[in-house]
Amino acid sequence: MVDVIVSGVAARLTDLIAKQIRNRVYLVRGVQSDIQNLSGELKRLGNTLDDAERREFKDKSVKDWLRKLEDASYEMDDVLDEWNISIVKLQQKKVGSFIPSPSLVCNNFYFRHNFALKIIEVKKRLDLIFMERDRFDFVASYPIHASREPRLSQTTSLIDLAKVCGRESENENLVDKLMSVGGSRDELDVCVLSIVGPGGIGKTTLAKLAYNDNRVKNCFQLRIWICVSRSFDEVGIANEIILRAGGSKPNTNQLDMLLRCLKELISGKKFLLVLDDVWIEDNTKWEPLKNSLKQRDGVGSKILVTTRNQSVAVMMGSVKNEIHHVGSLSDDECWLLLSEIALSGKNEEECKKFHNIGKNIAKKCKGLPLAAKTLGSLLLSKNTLKEWENVMNSEIWELEKVEIDIFSHLLISYNELSPALKRCFSYCAVFPKDTKIDVESIVTKWMAMGYLESRGSNGGDWKVRGRENFDKLAMLSLFQDFNSCGDKTESFKMHDILHDFALFLRKNVSQVQEYRSLFNYKELPNPHLCDCLARVRLLSLRKCGLRGIPKQIEKLIHLRWLNLGRNNFHDQDVKTVCKLYNLQFLWLDVCRLEEISSKIGNLVHLIHLDLSYNNLLKELPEKVCNLCKLETLNVDGCESLSKLPQGIHRLVNLKHLYNSGTRSLVQYPQGLGQLTCLDTLSRFAFDKLHWNELGLLKNLNRLSGCLELKTNFGDQLLDGDIKEEHLEAIREAELGKKKHIQELRINFSGHVILLDALKPHPNLQILDLTLACEHRLPWWIASPINQLISITLSECTHLSSLSHIGQLPLLENFEIKFESFYSRLEFVGREILGMTTTTTTTTTTTTTTTRDHISEASSSSLTAAAATATTSTTRDHISEASLSSSMVGRRNTNTIGFPKLKKLKFTNCSRWKEWEDITAEEEDSDAITLMPCLTELIIRNCSELTKLPHRLLRKASSLESLHIYYSRQLEQLYVDTKGQHWKSISISHPNPHLVLKHF
């Protein structure tokens, strides 16, 4: 792990030489050459650190040497922090000086001399460390799978079934998959099943159970077990398979000849090949061997792989349903396994004596079989309750036998990691056991600690690197209990044994490093900070009840990450924080701030700034625009914020502007449109005086996720005064080019023709639409090419028809709701069914043609009144004609209404009286399928609705639950499940488990 800080310091020393020339802050004579030599020596040293870190767990002198190197490297890193701060101060003084003077600080002898002394002092320490290195005879870096790497113990297929417990259901599942026919992607391919899990979880044991199952023995003509381990030797593996398949020992080591011999030997035979403990991720080594195992006449042959790394399973050809993640044992199963060993040779009375305390010890195993066996072996030699109690009360990582037997297995995986990944993993020990760890948060901490390796001159995207590091650790089964949103993991936990392992690793970390990350440190030493705290890099004082920012915080000059959120501060307190020039991440959310000091611009290294939910904050200082490295600015919930800085275009690296809930912000600086790196803009709103600002979105084509648009074109546009300039302003936004936006929330006040022109990209999946004064929906909502899966219509109080909603073939969720209990919606016709046909009709052509005509007409100075009349009349006619044609006139055409809809919800439709049903003839027709995937129908606060469409609900064959809340007329009819109305739905319904839910 030392490699990360050593390589980082070497890079900073190299950069220092360039910076002194660029900033004209020249070093004392002779120091420059010392720095150059030191940088080169650290880089050369880095080549041997891989070997040193592997040896530290067995050689205490190596461990001590690494700790000294780490301490000295961090001290040099701190000296370089001081240099950076001095550069910032110099630049500030230059700006404030009336007479420009390059020597303002450059010629300050004290500054340069003092810095030189610190460099020389640390260099002397490092020189001694470099000299001491020679006695260890470290080996320079070598490939991970080279022959120097100690081999793991070989596994065999033999198993003592009496000593296995808790794997019955997993074995049944695996045996079923092994015996199933097919499973591969094509007839020549061979199915690859994989067992994945961390070391000691029982992957090999599960593979042995299946391999030795009598059903499997009878199913395969050949069964072959190969222990692969870390070195994937294709020649050796091919030789082993040939010998175990009954062939003679080949007289060649040529891979091509061996694979041809292998292919001929297994031809026509159904085989099971187990490859135990595979580590290789190189597809070029696996592919030739896999190709030799493919055969037309061996249908049903299987390859079973065990591995710690899911990436290996995927590389070898396993798809999702062919990868089995081994589960943990229960506490009782762990006790059975542990007691089998620990109580061996003890009589019945002794067994009873240790039973209760033994079950508590078994809980320490947290479902890991290897831990149960190891603790059982440890307890075997302990014959008193006191000795067992000592084991129970000890941290598992403090037990010597655990360190040897369990952690040695985990060290194998750990040593495979890059230095940066080692740091990222061991850092997780700072969290308490069973903590849900937020992925985005821990990535910021890794960045602040310097664990994310740089790529290229600008370091690349640290968030991407952090996410990649997390994914790699997760694929190695080092994390568990993932919570995901879509394809993105949001949080995770560590298995307790792996947390103990991380603690074991951190006990080898120096005290200096241990104090670099402190959380919830509620009592800052007063009046002076201790020396160890002065070096801290991460500090969380979140929700500590602070009434002001402690003055001594300004001494923590090495801070990179500071969370002061949810405290009560005065505006002047922020000035103290603004002296922490090395800060990269700063949280000042929910601090009741009314003003941000202009000195915030001093924090030139800031990447992330969170000012959210400071409700009284009215503006940001222009100096915020000095933060040229800023990537994330969060002002969510700042309700009083009325403007953004005019110089916002200078934030050239800004990627995320979170501004939801900024209801006073209705005007944006022109520079916003120049932030072409922007990925996130939560909200864009304008009032009737600034409607032409929508064009600021034109070049922001990287916008992704969710965008809220609040538009107000003014009351005059409702009277028919639409002009070309209004339509042009809408088109300027070019929403149709923003293909990464998945969710759009539109709060629209103005004529619907303007909304027609706002057409988003077809990739849009979620739409939440609020229409203030319109009776119809925009035409693009029913475009046949869109990908909408969810629509919510909110506060569309004048909406009188749901035409076109039914034309969405991918829609899964649809909700219409009113918060005000007022709506014009009185009738829901069959248009909501989305009746579409599989054949092209004249009506469909007419619809498309008419819409194109309307779009062109509205684009050419068409008056709103004329456009409204044309649109309304034409579409109403089209709706009736197409429904009549599809529902009645085409008995020989298959029709599917809402083929994907799963959830349908109506809320506060206070004037809704009728929901049109289908006819008996249509219900009986096999050519008409209506909402086949609908599982849930919810009707809430619809007091005037008198009846449900019984035939339609019977046609919705997957309906599982009908919810009726606060709708008095419906409740009177359907609450009695034995009554006629409920029976008319339920008795004839295809789903016999349909239930009614109500209050």
For residue 882, is pLDDT > 50? no
More confident residue, 484 or 654: 654
- pLDDT-derived band at 867, boundaries 50, 70, 90: very low
For residue 455, the model assigns a pLDDT of: 54
Would you say residue 877 has pLDDT above 70? no
Average pLDDT of span 95-121: 61
Q: What pLDDT score was predicted for residue 571?
A: 83
The average confidence (pLDDT) of the chain is 80
Residue 251: partners with Cβ closer than 8 Å, 6 or more residues away: none
784: cis peptide before it, omega within 30°? Answer: no
Q: What is the mean pLDDT of residues 824-829?
A: 83
Do 406 and 499 contact (CB within 8 A), yes or no?
A: no
10 Å CB burial of residue 677 (0-12, 13-18, 19+) is middle
Would you state the structure tokens that stand for residue 498, as one six-digit string?
A: 């792996």
Q: Among 232-246, 697-711, 810-824, which stretch is predicted with the lowest mean pLDDT? A: 810-824
pLDDT at 402: 72
Q: Is the pLDDT of residue 261 over 70?
A: yes
The pLDDT, as a whole number, for residue 105 is 44
Sequence ranges of the domains in the chain: 2-136, 167-325, 331-405, 420-514
34: burial class by Cβ within 10 Å (0-12, 13-18, 19+)? middle
Looking at residue 994, its pLDDT comes to: 77
Does the pLDDT value for residue 251 go beyond 70?
A: yes
Of the spans 39-53, 83-97, 447-461, 514-528, which averages the highest pLDDT?
39-53
Q: Which residue has the higher pLDDT, 439 or 826?
A: 439
Mean pLDDT on 357-376? 89
What is the C-alpha separation between 727 and 867, in angstroms, rounded? 13
Length of the chain: 999
Q: Give the DSSP letter of residue 643.
A: B
* pLDDT (tens digit per residue) in 740-783: 999 999 998 877 888 888 899 999 999 999 886 667 788 888 77
Residue pair 819/768 in contact by the 8 Å Cβ criterion: no
The band of 553, judged by pLDDT with boundaries at 50, 70 and 90, is confident
Across 81-109, average pLDDT: 57
pLDDT of 76 > 80? The answer is yes
Give the count of beta carbons closer than 10 Å to the beta carbon of residue 648: 22
Q: Is the pLDDT of residue 456 over 50?
A: no
Q: pTM for the complete prediction?
A: 0.77
- Grade residue 870 by pLDDT with cuts at 50, 70 and 90: very low
For residues 8 and 117, which has the higher predicted lDDT (pLDDT)? 117
Q: How high is the pLDDT of residue 485?
A: 82
Looking at residue 714, what is its pLDDT?
56
Decide: 305 and 174 in contact? Cβ < 8 Å.
Answer: no
The residue that leads in pLDDT, 928 or 889, is 928
Looking at residue 231, what is its pLDDT? Answer: 77
Q: 167-325 belongs to which CATH class?
A: alpha beta
Q: What is the pLDDT of residue 90?
A: 62
- Alpha-carbon distance 909 to 967, whole Å? 10
- Residues near 786 by beta carbon (within 8 Å), at least 6 away in sequence: 762, 764, 780, 808, 810
Over residues 563-587, mean pLDDT: 90
3-state secondary structure 446-512: HHHHCCCCCCCCCCCCHHHHHHHHHHHHHHCCCCEEEEEECCEEEEEECCHHHHHHHHHHHCCCCHH
| Range with the largest mean pLDDT of 43-47, 457-461, 636-640 | 636-640
Q: What is the reported pLDDT for 964? A: 92
Q: How far lies 878's CA from each of 112, 474, 556, 873, 929, in Å?
A: 82, 54, 71, 9, 22
Could you tell me what percent of the chain has a pLDDT over 90?
31
HSE-up of residue 696 (Cα within 13 Å, Cβ side): 23
At the top level of CATH, which class does the domain 420-514 belong to? mainly alpha
pLDDT at position 981 is 86
Confidence class of residue 885 from pLDDT cuts 50, 70 and 90? very low
Report the range of poorest mean pLDDT among 480-484, 718-722, 803-807: 718-722
Q: Contact at 8 Å (CB) between 560 and 448?
A: yes
pLDDT, position 519: 55
- Please tell me the distance from the alpha carbon of residue 2 to that of residue 55, in angstroms, as a whole number: 13
Question: 213 pLDDT exceeds 70?
Answer: yes
The pLDDT value recorded for residue 21 is 45
Say what the pLDDT of residue 96 is: 47
886 has pLDDT over 50: no
- Radius of gyration of the chain from its Cα atoms, rounded to whole angstroms: 35
Of the given ranges (151-160, 494-503, 549-558), which has the lowest mean pLDDT?
Answer: 151-160
Q: What average pLDDT does the segment 285-289 reach?
A: 90
Contact criterion met (CB below 8 Å) for 899 and 924: no
So what's the pLDDT on residue 803?
A: 67
Other CB atoms closer than 10 Å to residue 827's CB: what's the count?
Answer: 13
